[in-house]
Each structure stands twice: as C-alpha cells, then as structure tokens.
Amino acid sequence: MKLIVIGSAILLFTVSAWAGTFLENFDNGNLKAWHAFNMRNAPDGTWKIVNDELHGVSQDGRTRLLTIGDETWDDYTIEFNVKPLKKPGLGNIAVAARINGAWAVWCMIGDHPSPFNISTVSCVAGNFRDPTPLFFFGVEPHPPLGLKVWSKLKLKVEGNTLNFWINGKHVLGPVKLPNRQTFERRDAVRKKHLEEHPADENGNLPAFQPMQLGRFQSFLTGAAGLGLSNQTARFDSVIITGDNIPNSGGLSVSPKAKLTTRWGSLKRL
C-alpha cells in the first residue's frame, strides 16, 4: 500500500512538471484569493481557517461555495480532502467547476431531495444564483460521506466531458456537459413567460413548455470551487491542475518540501 501511495505522489509531481498546479493547504492563515458564491443569494455562511484547515458552515439547505480562479480557466482537475463534522438535516458536500458569472457546473455527494430521501452522487448545471431551470446530467446512488472521517473528492472537466471520483473510485462519468447558451435563452424565455402569465389567486403558475433551442457553446470555461449545504465540514489539500492553471500556493517552495506537504495529506486518507 505504501508503494502505491508513494508512486501516486511521485506521479502527481511528474505530471505537474508539464501542467500548471495550484496547491492550497490553508497554512498561511488567509483566504484573500478565495471568494464566496452562494445559491439564490443566500446570506454568507462561515469560512475560516482552523488548525491549518478550512472550516465551513452552511446553515441551511442552500449550497454555499468558496471559489478560486477566473473565467479563463478551461480544462482542469480539482481535488480536495473533506471531513463532514455535523449534519443536522438533508445536505451535501459539493465540488464546482466552470464558474462563469452566475453560471456553474457542480457535483454533490449527499441527500437527494425525493420521496425516498436517498443519498446520491449528482451533477448539475445552471444559473447558481437562480437555480430554477437546472439540468441534472448524472445521478447515481451512493452512500453519504462519513462524519468525522476524511474523504477525497475529485472532479475533472475536459472539453464538454466531466468525470467524478470519491476516494479514488470513479463514481460518475464520462458525461456530457449541457449547453450553457441554451440555458440562458431558456431562462430568459421562462422569465418573460412568467411576466406575461403571472400566478393565479391560489399561487399556481401556468405551465411552461420550453421551446427547442438547438445547439450552442457549452460550459467551457470558468473558476473552480468547493462547498456544502446544511452542514459543517473541514476542507484541506486542494489541488487544481491544468495547462493554463497558474502555479501557486505550496509549489513556491523546494521540491523536497512539496513532496513532504503532499505526503502529509496522503497519510490522512
């Protein structure tokens, strides 16, 4: 087992020689480069660094993300360690990609709202600020992450294809990303429809049949993020790799220190 772990660490840094790598272990005590991004303009949750780990709290069922990067990032892999601490009700741990304006793609592990309230892995795309027209393009049953146990999530976006892993197991993908411009046009049509056909006296909205909108450019670029809903969790060892990802974080130190940092995170799992 040790040989496998050591080999994985060496492979990571061999690959990093060609691809840009962003590494964040939250050891510097600040979150200046990170930005809060909340579903439906929810009030901010809590994001702070505790014992060199990111401590996050989302106080209700709306997903709250902490994001890094910009709208020029395209193909990349984001992975991180996460340890749920408290979960008072239905909730999820999330990893996001291609965040561009209000639009994003995100995958979740946790409770899927349904008559059965089952735990699933699911991937969603749409307007994160106003997630009424959402597109679920992958849903698979999966046990929830253990409380007070470290797990590793990994999301890869390449072109219009997405893959998702939990603790090294490929749990979803490859799946095709939906068309962002189709969503934007459908959303505009929906809002105009609601203006022209308001709810009746009982609050019932009229039926809305979206028109066929054809093919447009997909969710191809944008920042990355991690997050949660209706729970408290710790995050650590964020690694984002891709051809146009800027080298930053712990990679500014010597190669020996890099390997020591990475080995420390691997021993946790």
Nearest partner of 128 among 172, 162, 94, 175, judged by Cα: 94
pLDDT bracket for residue 262 (50, 70, 90):
very low
Tens of pLDDT, residue by residue over 155-207, are 999 998 999 999 999 999 898 887 655 555 555 655 665 676 676 666 665 55
Cβ count within 10 A of residue 23 = 21
Average predicted confidence (pLDDT) for the chain = 79
pLDDT over 90, % of the chain: 49
DSSP the chain: -HHHHHHHHHHHHHHHTTSEEEEE-S-SS--TT-EEEEGGGPPP-EEEEETTEEEEEE-SSS-EEEEES-TT--SEEEEEEEEEEE--SS-EEEEEEEEETTEEEEEEEEE--STT--EEEEEEEEESSS-SS-EEEEEEE-PPPPTT--EEEEEEEETTEEEEEETTEEEEEEEE--BHHHHHHHHHHHHHHHHHS---TT-PPPP--PPP-----BS---EEEEEEESEEEEEEEEEEEETTPPPEEGGGS-HHHHHHHHHHHHHH-
Q: Which of 43-52, 57-66, 204-213 has the lowest mean pLDDT?
A: 204-213
Cβ count within 10 A of residue 24 = 22
Cβ count within 10 A of residue 54 = 22
Cβ count within 10 A of residue 127 = 19
Tens of pLDDT, residue by residue over 193-222, are 567 667 666 666 555 444 333 333 468 899
Residue with tokens 């470290």: 150
Separation CA 78–CA 54 (nearest Å): 16
Burial class (CB in 10 A: 0-12, 13-18, 19+), 9: middle
Token pair of 232 as six digits: 């408290």
pLDDT over 70, % of the chain: 67
Amino acid at 16: S
Q: What are the structural domains, with CATH classification, of the chain?
A: 2-197+213-268 (2.60.120.560)
- Phi then psi for 155, rounded to 5 degrees? -125, 130
User: Full-prediction pTM beyond 0.85?
Assistant: no
Separation CA 256–CA 94 (nearest Å): 32
